[in-house]
Structure 1
Amino acid sequence: MKSEKKNKKKHNNHHNHFTTGYINFTKNGYAFVKIEKFQKDIFIPKNKTNRALEGDLVRIKFNEKYRNKRGIKMEGEVLKIVKRKTKKFIGILKIKSYSKYGLVVIYNKSIHVDIFIPINDSIKHHHNNKVLVKIISWPKKLKNPLGKIIKIFGKSGEYTTEMFSLLEEYEISYEFSNKIKSEIEKIYSETKKISFFNGNLRKDMRDINTFTIDPINAKDFDDALSIRKLDNNVWEIGIHISDVSHYIKEGSLIDKEAYSRATSIYFTGKVIPMLPEILSNQLFSLQPKKERLSFSYIFNINNRGKILKNWFGKTIIKSNRKFTYEEVQQIIDKKKGDFHEEINDLFFFSKILTRKRLKNGAIYLDRIEVKFNLDNENNPISLDLEKNNDAHKLIEEFMLLANNKISEFVSLNFKEKSSNRIFIYRVHDKPDFQKIFFIKKIIEPLGYFLDSNNLKKSINSLLKKIKGKPEQNMIENLILRAMSKAKYTTKNIGHYGLSFFYYTHFTSPIRRYSDIIAHRLLYYYLLNDDNYLNNNADNKTAVYRLKNMDFYEKQSLHCSHKERLAIDVEREFLKYIQIKYIKNFLGKEFYGIITGFTDWSVYVDILLFQTEGMVKLRDIKEDSYILNSKNYSIIGKKKRKIYQLGDKVKVKLMDINMEKKQIILSWMGNNMKN
């Protein structure tokens, strides 16, 4: 006992240390600074954060406060802010009539304090508006920083307000400069007449039955399929992709802007395009009855699904018809309609391709997608839980095939000719096995199992077993979270989920810059291939100069980063739409599945909406529940009733917090295990 006190005293008197690191705040106002050489973060009390904000680079003084059985606790204080992460924040302006100051309340985790705004005539009528505010100063005598409003987005909760404030928050461009517009007009005016291009310099596919299959509201058609029967047992299939790189020259203003955006953003009811609509929806779009330039993968396949011959190169096509997925599904079901023979032949081959992929170990995750229908004022009025039908799967299989075969072609065909072979790959690493172990512990009480020794087969078996079960969405989400994030790189490790060793993104150059990179690299290799150059070179004098590996790796990292941002902002906006829609059902009761626990709450996925809400443990009236973190369950203190992950329960929609995008539920106490 004495030695413990002596030890504690010794460490209380430890010399101070000084270091620099990034600070992270909790919602309670205290913070931690992560220092790489220490295994534990340095704790910063509330009164010693010295006006630092989330993510700031700070200089701190710290000491080893005491040592106990858990190790050393290090506590410190912020001496100064070396560099602010940002001075600009988005929040909601709150104005009280009797105060000299308004408050901008920040609801995300980017800042732990509100910002004071001096009230003047220009802002006093903007109560509850979402605004962009800049911190001007933070006097020592004030607990809150002082700011200035630099942009007003509109009333909080409105469609355009939420969309444009999100784009601002994620620093996503949504307008094109006048200089870029001038460059676009020049490209468009010079190439309006596609017949200007001599079809002899490309493979001419204009007389072969070709069509596009896309969503009903699609405007940019960047892929088309052609098919013709060569003899009783052999078909020629063409996968044609818009030849965007023919028009977008590397280093041009449009190219720089497309690279900066790297991807289109898809909101419910609105698209923020990577390329201007006059190009993406018109000149580049493979519209019906119009001659269009394309980059194609054409192959011969027999009636057993064996690919006999491959060809890659530039083409000119003329689509006969644009189909929606719904129209193609009807043709598949009824075996009649426009081009029904061609569509059913393609469907036949797509099923063979699917079987081959699954046999090769591909993971088959067939997710339900939530789609909202909006009225004229962009308010959500209904939702559809959409699942991929046969028409979707048909297109998906041929796009996967093209991406696989093009990557394989570049990687293998030019191996001897280019020792420093460069390409952009779409890779997917093995899953996090700690997360797989976590899934096993959760699903075993529900009667499901995973075999780590044959994980892919086991996952596919699990996905089949949960199909149509209430816990399906929860388990699918757990599997998705366990998977590594796919990314772009020049260093190929294969694609774990698809079970392809060679894979790229080539089929969507209108909406993904990574595909433009792949187009340019493939064309470079084709221009250096004697067979292609002698027969089908689009422009024998044009030489695309290959950069070094570092250049393409930097571009790959950039595309991966922008893709993650796009996913995050799309998910955030969808959450807003979901919350706004669900607000119409306050007071109604629904069934849901328990998806998570914390010390103070239960999370429930509402089955009808595929949306997660929260019940506070203290609000469950039937008993006083506590968390059993080892068994992922809660247990009642008196009745000893247990609720586990995956249990089906009834809840009532009690409240909506639009700013925090939270759904507050009331517990109805029904436990109905399947």
Structure 2
Amino acid sequence: MAKNKEKKAGKRIKKNDLANILMNFFHAKSTEVLSLKYIFAELRLTTHPLKMLCVEILNEMKEGDYITEVDRSKFRLNDHGTELTGTFLRKSNGKNSFIPDEGGDPIFIAERNSAHAMNKDKVRIAFYAKRKNHDAEGEVIEILQRANDTFVGTLEVANSYAFLVTENRTLANDIFIPKEKLKGGKTGDKAIVKVTEWPDKAKNPIGQVIDILGKAGDNTTEMHAILAEFGLPYVYPSAVEKAADNIPAEISREEMALREDFRKVTTFTIDPKDAKDFDDALSIRKLKDNLWEVGVHIADVSHYVKEDSIIDKEAQKRATSVYLVDRTIPMLPERLCNFICSLRPNEEKLAYSVIFDITEKGEVKDSRIVHTVIESDRRFTYEEAQQIIETKHGDFAEEVLMMDTIAKALRQKRFSAGAINFDRYEVKFEIDEKGKPLSVYFKESKDSNKLVEEFMLLANRTVAEKIGRVPKGKKAKVLPYRIHDLPDSEKLDNLAQFIARFGYKIRTSGTKSDISKSINHLLDDIQGKKEENLIETVSIRAMQKARYSTHNIGHYGLAFDYYTHFTSPIRRYPDMMVHRLATKYMEGGRSASETKYEELCDHSSNMEQIAANAERASIKYKQVEFMSEHVGQTYDGVISGVTEWGLYVELNENKCEGMVPVRDLGDDYYEFDEKNYCLRGRRKNRIYSLGDAITIKVARANLEKKQLDFALID
């Protein structure tokens, strides 16, 4: 009876009273994140009207910046006092923002209150008193750490001074350069400029030229400018190259005696036709009926590159090779990556190998990790290996076909376990000797690519398992893993809502394998349909990014509990770390420092991302250069991106992407609907959605900005 009374009394609680109760509750639990369910339970809000009133008050508290929604229906008190530290994000339109270190919504910083902070600087800000119905606003009171003080752009030189005109989206103002700081630069030169000061009252920062890259528009100049823009090196330090020149290429008898000898076993490499650095080779021999020995042989880079040597320090800093459209910026000096370590045919080479006893059905009966000496019998291009798979004829046909059979079995197993099958094509350019793009073609993953991929995956997984999988109660030794988390639940929900419009469904809850199998099912269902590209793009956006970490959580996309990178030490630093640790542990060494290796993992993940961005920028540049010959021509395409400033359109014929600016959609006032990936006309209700077929005319090709502008053709 008393309970009923309490419920009835509960209904009569006033909004102001409940607001006070909620405020006190958040202050009492100021360090905790509180879920809606928890709030209802703790405050005994059992009736529907009370719950609705509570949600209404929470939304008002959120708008008033008293609380932050850290995740869906999970809140925390915004107890950040009057000062905060965090990251300053500069925008050339003056809409700068500040991201607090402790999380929460961005805070607007007007240009006049920015203290000339640069993009991604660590700063301290002071809060302004919050105006009703306005976003939070603040002022930079101290720059704690500069993120970047060098910029790339084109010089404009007058009689007594010069300016660097930047294409940087984050810097609205050109950089003023005194004449004596020009380093011989002339108008039209691309240059790297360091900002030396930005006086309080001055509109422009002041800088000095660090390096002249060459004439704007020249191919090498532009490729170097892309690298410099991302803070990547475009020359190799001569001291490091000298150190590499002193490394002998000959293999000593003593070294050979320490290794398993695979020189007489059939061995070959399969690589792109323009490759020079052959990281990996495959060997195969029959042990008995239905049992084969397959060797995955990886260049033994760590034998030549000793930890903390000058070569190692440079490789660690770079962390990865960078593949631009027309050149490779190697992680290691050329003598090592293209000659000494490269597993070239008919040359004795040192390798670090994973050897499998494996059946035709892909069942691994035994495996071991050993240092070896090998001699490759043949260097195949992917196209040559593909021809053998298709025609059943050619050099080493029996061996290639057996490896293809085993690889297909391994692949089948992986997908049965819930690996996700994103088969993307790559856009490639045919380029003349001056770097001018002549044509565009698409590189698709065929059986020969998949053959190599499956054995590399198997080797990587095996090394991770051998070190990471330990008996219960024992602690695994430190290793850099390649990890990939489950898709973000909110993005997965958005994906489910989005594909429902096309009549598709996916699971958004259940086991890892349930979710991945339903994503695979979706990818199968859309094959060949007009929405295929679009749904695949949105699905990829729902995925997390793979990264390196010593804290293993498995690799969701591959459906592996243990995975690392072991197979490309010529071009990736994490693989070199794994080689060194595997050697150390096989010899009974103690576990390495987790802190040291976690920092190296973070650095490698960041550099991988930066390299990918630079690679994309070089593709973008070549696309714009290629399309500059086609201004005024009409193409069919598909809407590949929707933003508040316009529509991105990918052309069907050559996959070049450009933009229809929203200002050119003159027939209506358009609003951006982020959730449904579309622009909607306010009066006529015309909708432009992601994935819509569309016809455009090439309006402008701006090489400086790496930007194609398209105009709609109705």
Aligned 1:306-345 pairs, distance under 5 A: 306-345=363-402
* Contact 2:659–2:708 under 8 Å retained in 1: yes
Report the equivalent of 2:70. Answer: none
1:127 matched to 2:187 = yes
Evaluate the alpha carbon distance shift between residue 60 and residue 640 of structure 1 in structure 2; reply closer, same or farther with a 3 A threshold.
Answer: closer
Selected match of 1:403 from 438, 449, 460: 460
Report the equivalent of 1:486. Answer: 546
CA RMSD of superposed structures (Å):
2.8
Selected match of 1:505 from 540, 548, 565: 565
Evaluate the alpha carbon distance shift between residue 258 and residue 650 of structure 1 in structure 2; reply closer, same or farther with a 3 A threshold.
Answer: same
**2:101 and 2:299 mapped to 1: Cα distance?**
47
Aligned residues, how many?
A: 632
Report the equivalent of 1:476. Answer: 536
* Contact 1:618–1:624 under 8 Å retained in 2: no
**2:529 and 2:187 mapped to 1: Cα distance?**
46
Evaluate the alpha carbon distance shift between residue 600 and residue 318 of structure 1 in structure 2; reply closer, same or farther with a 3 A threshold.
Answer: closer
Unaligned runs of 5+ in 2: 1-64, 66-80
Selected match of 1:423 from 468, 471, 479: 479
Report the equivalent of 2:97. Answer: 32
State the AA in 1 paired with 2:365. L
**2:558 and 2:412 mapped to 1: Cα distance?**
12
Report the equivalent of 2:310. Answer: 253
Report the equivalent of 1:227. Answer: 284
**2:182 and 2:364 mapped to 1: Cα distance?**
69
Report the equivalent of 1:67. Answer: 132
TM-score scaled by structure 1?
Answer: 0.87
| Farther off after superposition, 138-147 or 654-663 | 138-147
Deviation at 1:352, TM superposition (A): 0.4
**1:175 and 1:600 mapped to 2: Cα distance?**
37
Deviation at 1:487, TM superposition (A): 1.3
Report the equivalent of 2:341. Answer: 284
- The superposition leaves residues 91-111 of structure 1 with CA deviations (integer Å, 9 ceiling, x where unpaired) of 22235x6x8554322222342
Report the equivalent of 2:9. Answer: none
* Contact 2:91–2:171 under 8 Å retained in 1: no
- The superposition leaves residues 395-429 of structure 1 with CA deviations (integer Å, 9 ceiling, x where unpaired) of 001110111112112223x6599745222211111
Evaluate the alpha carbon distance shift between residue 639 and residue 198 of structure 1 in structure 2; reply closer, same or farther with a 3 A threshold.
Answer: closer
**1:661 and 1:549 mapped to 2: Cα distance?**
42
**2:515 and 2:389 mapped to 1: Cα distance?**
34
What is the SS of the residue equivalent to 1:34? strand
* Contact 2:359–2:406 under 8 Å retained in 1: no
1:46 matched to 2:111 = yes
Deviation at 1:511, TM superposition (A): 0.9
- The superposition leaves residues 519-543 of structure 1 with CA deviations (integer Å, 9 ceiling, x where unpaired) of 1222222223xxxxxxxxxxxxxxx
**1:37 and 1:556 mapped to 2: Cα distance?**
23
State the AA in 1 paired with 2:299. S
Aligned 1:162-181 pairs, distance under 5 A: 162-181=222-241
- The superposition leaves residues 98-142 of structure 1 with CA deviations (integer Å, 9 ceiling, x where unpaired) of x85543222223423222234579689732322212234434443
**2:465 and 2:476 mapped to 1: Cα distance?**
16
* Contact 2:484–2:555 under 8 Å retained in 1: yes
* Contact 1:274–1:511 under 8 Å retained in 2: yes
1:148 matched to 2:208 = yes
**1:185 and 1:595 mapped to 2: Cα distance?**
48
**1:520 and 1:417 mapped to 2: Cα distance?**
26
Selected match of 2:656 from 577, 601, 611: 611
1:557 matched to 2:602 = yes
| Farther off after superposition, 73-82 or 179-188 | 73-82
Report the equivalent of 2:678. Answer: 633
| Farther off after superposition, 364-373 or 237-246 | 237-246
Deviation at 1:296, TM superposition (A): 1.2
1:90 matched to 2:135 = no
Indicate the percent of aligned positions where both proteins have the same amino acid. 42
- The superposition leaves residues 516-572 of structure 1 with CA deviations (integer Å, 9 ceiling, x where unpaired) of 1111222222223xxxxxxxxxxxxxxx67532222222222222221221122122
Selected match of 2:613 from 558, 564, 568: 568
Selected match of 1:433 from 477, 483, 489: 489
- The superposition leaves residues 306-339 of structure 1 with CA deviations (integer Å, 9 ceiling, x where unpaired) of 2222222111111111110000111111111100
* Contact 2:92–2:170 under 8 Å retained in 1: no
What is the SS of the residue equivalent to 1:258? helix
State the AA in 2 paired with 1:560. S
* Contact 2:640–2:691 under 8 Å retained in 1: yes
**2:139 and 2:239 mapped to 1: Cα distance?**
50
**2:417 and 2:473 mapped to 1: Cα distance?**
30
Evaluate the alpha carbon distance shift between residue 277 and residue 415 of structure 1 in structure 2; reply closer, same or farther with a 3 A threshold.
Answer: farther
**2:194 and 2:309 mapped to 1: Cα distance?**
34
- The superposition leaves residues 344-378 of structure 1 with CA deviations (integer Å, 9 ceiling, x where unpaired) of 01111111001000001000110010011110101
State the AA in 2 paired with 1:665. F
Aligned 1:154-233 pairs, distance under 5 A: 154-188=214-248, 192-194=249-251, 196-197=253-254, 199-233=256-290
* Contact 2:181–2:209 under 8 Å retained in 1: no
**1:397 and 1:151 mapped to 2: Cα distance?**
44
| Farther off after superposition, 630-639 or 551-560 | 630-639
State the AA in 2 paired with 1:164. H
State the AA in 2 paired with 1:437. D
State the AA in 2 paired with 1:450. I
Greater RCO (CA < 8 Å, at least 6 residues apart): 1
Deviation at 1:667, TM superposition (A): 0.6
TM-score scaled by structure 2?
Answer: 0.83
| Farther off after superposition, 377-386 or 653-662 | 653-662
1:588 matched to 2:633 = yes
